[in-house]
Amino acid sequence: MQDKIDLLRTRPVPVQGLFIGGKSVPAASGAVLDVFSPIDGSVLTTISDAAAEDVARACTAARVAFDAGGWSRAAPAHRKKVLFRLAELIEANALELAVLGVRDNGTEIGMALKAEPASAAATFRYYGELIDKVYGEIAPTGHDVLALVHREPVGVVGAIVPWNFPLMIGAWKVAPALAAGNSVVLKPAETASLTLLRLAELAVEAGLPPGVFNVVTGRGAVAGEALGLSMEVDVLAFTGSGAVGRRLLDYAARSNLKRVYLELGGKSPNIVFADAPDLDRAAKVAAYGIFRNSGQVCIAGSRLLVEASIAEDFATRVAGIAAAMKVGDPLDLTTEAGAINSPAQLDRNLGFVARATGQGARVLTGGHAILQETGGWYMAPTVLADVRPDTDVAQNEVFGPVLAVMPFATEAEAVRLANGTEFGLAAGVWSADLSRAHRMVRSVRAGIVHVNTYGGSDLTVPLGGHGQSGNGQDKSPHALDKFVDLKTAWIQL
């Protein structure tokens, strides 16, 4: 496989337009943005830099397609067939999509193959399979009235997704929205748009009518704002930062009160008790739970809370695993942690480390950039001990390979530390005490709590945040709830 990857890494990437109405079109102004590869800092290609008028074109195309009914009123069995075909096309082009995505965002190829095309194909197949098994309801009214509850598509769905796993997270939004019969306008991150533009091409090849799935690229402050303010968009689904999420809520209030669903990241605690069944395994899982994809994972276990009696020893084990991880060329199958997405993100990561050490934290390993002969942006996996719970690195999402280690003395203190941030996306608990594990699951504020593992889940279970990690659910049948309206038919008999 490495030979095929090496061939694909040199393939020229064509200039990219917007994808509107079933075809690639340039931005009205002709404006473009350079696409820099985090692997070596080179310019891969250009993408169109959409303005508000381009987003309006895409939203109009989506509305026209929805109103035409070719997709929105198609039988669920037909939509299922098209989504299955799209899943097959993603799988047929999986290596091409994975390599293209890695060149665009820097994820190590071993993770990208599973987390991007494989996951996206599974997601489209899952919601295709689900949609013809979703029924309406008959309400228990009086004998002289028949009350039916219908589930209908909302109309036009806007989706804004981040750069870390664009194909996977994009599929989490797009697949259930399409399965329910909606039209979609997707805005990728400007530093990771290429695989989603390719996905739109594959969707048309699979049989999706023109205008049902559109992709607008460009800057969030322009294209993202226009999507948030659009009067044509009925629902907006977003994964990203809390600051942007707040702006999207404001845009909804200033426009048509569209529903806004937010997944806003986290500062997820990984809690290790002294009675954890296998401390060596726990240390390895904890290290990989923060350092894979160089920490650029929404649910990354970025706070390691360890019972005081084993805290120093356990932190040393994790630091040893981190120091031995292979960081480098993301397109090398032996690489364990790839590139940082952009120089701005690398500077942000290093800034967190500098502030943490200034606030008394101790660097056990890492804490610095890794210079590569080929260029690009890389950072050593970093383990910080002696982190105070009230400091910047303990409270705010780094979104990089930085692990903050904090000891606790009691179960109650572990819960207090775990819940001591504004976030509540994910958590982990390591203990051989089943009763304690159940107590922690109930007590820790998070959308998903892993027990004696970290990072595992699949499409059968929801992913959503508590607290300021957001609202609404990705994955599972619950994701459909975001993209349907309920309509009651009250029928006098």
Catalytic residues: 263
CB neighbours (10 Å) of residue 467? 17
Task: Provide the residue type at 407 as one letter.
Answer: P
What is the rounded distance in angstroms from the CA atom of residue 409 to the CA atom of residue 37? 45
If you search the block for the tokens 């203990």, which residue do you land on?
Answer: 431
What is the rounded distance in angstroms from the CA atom of residue 164 to the CA atom of residue 153? 29
Question: If we measure between CA atoms, which residue out of 467, 420, 415 comes closest to residue 446?
Answer: 467
Alpha carbons within 13 angstroms on the beta-carbon side of residue 434 total 0
The answer for residues whose C-beta is within 8 angstroms of residue 225's C-beta and 6 or more apart is: 52, 247, 251
Q: Please, are residues 269 and 423 in contact by the beta-carbon 8 Å criterion?
A: no
Task: Provide the residue type at 53 as one letter.
Answer: E
Residue 75: Cβ-neighbour burial (10 angstroms; 0-12, 13-18, 19+): exposed
The answer for residues whose C-beta is within 8 angstroms of residue 416's C-beta and 6 or more apart is: none
What is the rounded distance in angstroms from the CA atom of residue 259 to the CA atom of residue 234? 7
What is the rounded distance in angstroms from the CA atom of residue 231 to the CA atom of residue 260? 13
User: 420 by DSSP, 3-state: which?
Assistant: coil
How remote is the C-alpha of 239 from its chain's centroid?
6
